């Protein structure tokens, strides 16, 4: 070999060696552009190449390249892909959540993160951006954006719910916080969402239809899962102040940061309302949540969270037909109230064994007390009988009651990815031990015969109800999914629940005080099977069959009952649905159709001696179609439509001597929809303007189908502006000043209306001090 060739080879070898040893290292962190939380598992690669790296649990990455300021592609499922030029200094890259339905990620469908397009259920997600834009002061202002959902505003964060069911206070809905029930089974409270810390919610997922196969009882009409804030990758320190012209004032605070292996979140708010449009409707609420995460390693994390809440509200009650017709907002009440104290603690240890295996275990503690002087328990002494009227006109009867419980619970689950057919197996066990007490004492009430107001009361030494119940719930569940062929995903799950109710009556058993001491056991298997089929990358459909169950509530089982003899109610659901992206990044839609049959439902039956008792003799039928559409016809304009047409009927229902067979259920509008348009002009960065239209169709006010309420149309207008750390907003609610009722009902003797708020303006301002740090 010639000397020149040897020299050339040597030079080439030196250059190669030099290049291989002069790699540049670029470091950074990838976060969510809206929540500023770290994104773990995001990819940082050369375009059209798998060469690169992924982010760790803290969202950090280290990218090695021989190039100077290389351009890379940053991507993660559920976010818009970005091309970024890396720089020498450590940089923070913000990914924007994707608006594409096909890219949406949900966690409630199988208790783990998965693509929406692989979930054979009707599930909707209210993302962080929607929550931030809406500036809601109660959850109904955002939940009602979901097709087929109507959360009835009863004032001061109190509510009823309607998801594939009529507006009801029954235990047909399950409310979760990070996948864990807010309250224990058997002690359902239709006002449970007032116990939530709205300032601590990052996004909300709504499953429509039974989900007992994963989450247990009460998950019949739907499941609402509130996903809470996680520690942010960059510091956040935010304060906001808002109020309206109906006496509502609220102060919110949020602080979050990550330091090394530690992550911290502190959030809460205090709200107060005085001298509102309706008499005797003041309230105040304070709540705070704290979360501390510790990453032992990139694979092992311990998360501890605590929420405390203190609530008090006047209980003004509804108004009658005369008052509603006269636009009178006077209240008969002067002393009734509801007060709630709630504490929830959760500690979750999660370990990622490898890329295919993960285990988590959660310890939960709840401490909850509800004290009431309830307006709905007040009964006039003067009443009509078959022979005329009897009783005193200035006398009424009521009660003061207190319901409390503690919970000690354990939930453990494991996820295993399998090599066969892209299969995933998720299984878990849970135990919930919840001792509870209930005490009700009689009060004698004075009524003014002229103003019709209940002016005061005296508490007699008379105990109406006094008992203790130990509620134990043991459960196991398994979820299996696989893809037998390309594009097809099959999902099956089943759960077994065992309930033990230990009832201890502290009074002599009677038809009022309750049953004798007893122990009742219930058990149920809840299966679910379904599949999804993706016709293309932009369209697909699904079908499923599921069962759900509801055990008797403690009050149904034992209060005012001589002999407890009830079984769980069972619901059978058949459902199909689908989704499509008609025009990429411009127009998408999803739909679902369902048939839900309820059996063994608990109703009150009138006996021959005139008394009543609860029995499992009711059947109902629920069917409907739900549709959602999202469009971006032109840049900076977005349109959303959510609608549902449904029919709810009594199939076999004879209650207290009244035959409702074949009738439509009361409080069940056939048609309801919510539509919204947002405009965010490019020429004024940070400005947003939106208008929302909520429609509730007419519905029967009584189960005998004698009277209908016309329903309503209401419009809300919102505007906001954000500049760096400062944000201001104005929401004009009920913009046309429509006079209507949130809900209306009729009994055999009277009408009842919950009047909606007239037009009002909610004004707010916030400042994020965390902007000063980056």
Q: What is each CA distance from 329 to 9, 247, 626, in whole angstroms?
A: 95, 15, 36
Question: Which of 34, 61, 95 finishes a domain?
Answer: 95
* Model pTM score: 0.92
Q: What does DSSP say about strands 91-95 and 24-32: parallel, antiparallel, or unpaired?
A: parallel
Kindly state whether residue 91 falls inside one of the protein's structural domains: yes
Instruction: Tell me the backbone φ, ψ of residue 502, rounded to 5 degrees.
Output: -105, 105
pLDDT at 133: 94
Q: Given its phi and psi angles, is residue 556 left (phi above 0), alpha (psi -120 to 50 degrees) or beta?
A: alpha
- CATH code: domain of residue 79: 2.60.40.1120
The reply to whether 127 falls in a domain is no
Phi, psi dihedral angles at 623 (to 5 degrees): -145, 150
What tokens appear for 576 in the block?
């199909």
Q: Which residues pair with 768 in a beta bridge?
A: 238
Q: What is the pLDDT of residue 6?
A: 62
* CATH (domain of 421): 2.40.170.20
Q: What is the pLDDT of residue 748?
A: 77
Is residue 133 in a domain?
no
Q: Is residue 489 part of a domain?
A: yes
- Classify residue 108: in a domain, yes or no: no
Which pLDDT score is estimated for 606? Answer: 64
One domain, residues 555 and 694: yes
E strands, 607-711, where? 612-631, 637-652, 654-655, 658-659, 671-679, 687-696, 699-700, 708-709
Domain membership flag for residue 311 = yes
Cα–Cα distance for residue pair 342/187, rounded to 1 Å: 14
Which of 61, 95, 129 terminates a domain? The answer is 95
Residues composing the chain: 774
What per-residue confidence (pLDDT) applies to 75?
A: 86
Number of domains in the chain: 2
CA–CA dist 572, 191 (Å, integer): 26
- Residue 137 lies inside a defined structural domain of this protein: no
Q: What pLDDT shows up at residue 19? A: 47
Q: Of 95, 125, 152, at which residue does a domain stop?
A: 95
Q: d(Cα 163, Cα 225) in Å, to the nearest integer?
A: 14
Token digits of residue 502: 């230990």
Quote the CA–CA distance of 686 and 768 in Å, as a whole number: 15
Q: Is residue 219 part of a domain?
A: no
pLDDT of residue 95: 87
Q: Is the CB of residue 503 less than 8 Å from the CB of residue 481?
A: no
| Mean pLDDT per 10-residue interval, the chain, length 774 residues | 58 50 79 87 81 83 84 85 84 82 76 83 92 95 96 95 94 94 92 96 94 90 95 93 96 94 96 94 97 93 97 92 90 94 97 94 97 92 83 93 96 95 95 96 94 91 93 96 94 95 92 86 94 92 94 86 81 95 90 95 68 78 96 93 96 87 94 96 94 97 94 97 94 97 88 94 93 59
Tokens of 456: 């005061």
Domain range for residue 54?
A: 3-95
Which residue intervals of 380-480 are DSSP H helices?
Answer: none
């Amino acid at each position: 070999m010639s000397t020149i060739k040897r020299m050339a080879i040597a030079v080439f070898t030196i250059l190669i060696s030099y290049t291989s040893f002069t790699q540049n290292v670029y470091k950074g962190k990838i976060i969510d552009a809206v929540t500023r939380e770290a994104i773990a598992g995001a990819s940082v690669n050369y375009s059209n190449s798998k060469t690169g790296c992924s982010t760790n649990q803290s969202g950090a990455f280290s990218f090695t390249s021989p190039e100077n300021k290389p351009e890379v592609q940053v991507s993660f499922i559920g976010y818009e892909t970005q091309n970024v030029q890396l720089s020498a200094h450590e940089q923070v890259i913000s990914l924007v959540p994707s608006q594409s339905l096909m890219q949406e990620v949900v966690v409630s469908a199988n208790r783990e993160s998965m693509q929406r397009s692989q979930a054979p259920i009707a599930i909707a997600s209210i993302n962080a951006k929607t929550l931030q834009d809406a500036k809601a002061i109660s959850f109904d202002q955002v939940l009602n954006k979901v097709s087929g959902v109507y959360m009835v505003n009863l004032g001061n964060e109190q509510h009823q719910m309607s998801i594939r069911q009529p507006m009801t206070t029954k235990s047909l809905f399950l409310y979760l916080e990070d996948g864990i029930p807010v309250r224990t089974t058997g002690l359902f409270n239709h006002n449970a969402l007032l116990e939530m810390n709205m300032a601590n919610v990052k996004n909300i997922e709504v499953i429509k239809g039974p989900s007992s196969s994963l989450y247990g009882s009460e998950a019949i009409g739907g499941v609402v899962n509130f996903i809470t804030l996680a520690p942010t990758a960059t510091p956040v320190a935010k304060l906001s102040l808002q109020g309206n012209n109906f006496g509502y004032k609220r102060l919110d605070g949020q602080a979050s940061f990550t330091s090394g292996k530690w992550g911290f979140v502190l959030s809460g708010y205090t709200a107060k309302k005085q001298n509102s449009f309706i008499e005797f409707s003041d309230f105040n609420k304070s709540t705070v949540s704290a979360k501390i995460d510790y990453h032992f390693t990139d694979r092992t994390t311990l998360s501890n969270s605590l929420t405390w809440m203190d609530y008090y509200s006047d209980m003004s009650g509804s108004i009658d037909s005369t008052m509603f017709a006269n636009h009178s907002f006077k209240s008969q009440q002067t002393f009734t109230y509801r007060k709630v104290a709630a504490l929830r603690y959760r500690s979750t240890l999660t370990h990622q064994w490898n890329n295919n295996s993960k285990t988590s275990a959660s310890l939960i503690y709840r401490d909850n007390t509800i004290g009431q002087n309830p307006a709905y328990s007040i009964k006039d002494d003067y009443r009509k009988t078959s022979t005329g009227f009897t009783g005193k006109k200035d006398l009424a009867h009521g009660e003061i009651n207190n319901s409390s419980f503690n919970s000690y619970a354990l939930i453990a689950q494991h996820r295993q990815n399998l090599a066969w057919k892209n299969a995933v197996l998720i299984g878990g066990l849970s135990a919930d031990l919840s001792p509870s007490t209930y005490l009700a004492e009689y009060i004698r009430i004075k009524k003014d015969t002229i103003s019709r107001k209940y002016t005061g009361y005296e508490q007699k030494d008379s105990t109406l109800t006094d008992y203790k119940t130990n509620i134990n719930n043991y459960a196991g569940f398994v979820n299996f999914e696989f893809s037998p062929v390309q594009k097809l995903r099959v999902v099956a799950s089943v759960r077994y629940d065992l309930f033990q109710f230990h009832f201890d009556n502290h009074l002599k058993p009677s038809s009022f005080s309750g049953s004798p001491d007893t122990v009742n056991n219930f058990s149920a298997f809840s299966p679910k099977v379904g599949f999804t089929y993706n016709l293309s990358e932009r369209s697909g459909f699904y079908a499923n069959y599921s069962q759900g169950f509801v055990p008797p509530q403690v009050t149904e089982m034992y209060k005012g009952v001589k002999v407890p003899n009830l079984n769980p109610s069972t619901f059978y659901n058949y459902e199909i649905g689908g989704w499509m992206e008609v025009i990429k990044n411009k127009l998408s839609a999803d739909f679902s159709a369902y048939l839900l049959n309820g059996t063994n439902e608990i109703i009150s039956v009138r006996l021959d001696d005139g008394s009543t008792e609860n029995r499992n003799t009711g059947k109902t039928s629920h069917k409907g179609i739900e549709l959602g559409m999202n469009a971006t016809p032109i840049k900076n304009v977005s349109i959303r439509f959510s609608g549902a047409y449904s029919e709810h009927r009594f199939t076999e229902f004879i209650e207290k001597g009244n035959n409702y067979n074949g009738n439509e259920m009361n409080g069940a509008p056939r048609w309801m929809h919510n539509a919204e348009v947002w405009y965010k002009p490019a020429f004024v960065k940070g400005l947003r303007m939106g208008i929302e239209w909520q429609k509730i169709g007419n519905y029967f006010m009584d189960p005998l189908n004698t009277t209908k309420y016309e329903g309503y149309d209401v419009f809300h207008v919102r505007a906001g502006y954000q500049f760096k750390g400062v944000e201001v907003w104005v929401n004009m609610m009920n913009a046309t000043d429509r006079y209507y009722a949130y809900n209306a009902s009729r009994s055999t003797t009277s009408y009842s209306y919950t009047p909606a708020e007239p037009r009002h303006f909610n004004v707010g301002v916030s400042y994020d001090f965390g902007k000063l740090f980056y």
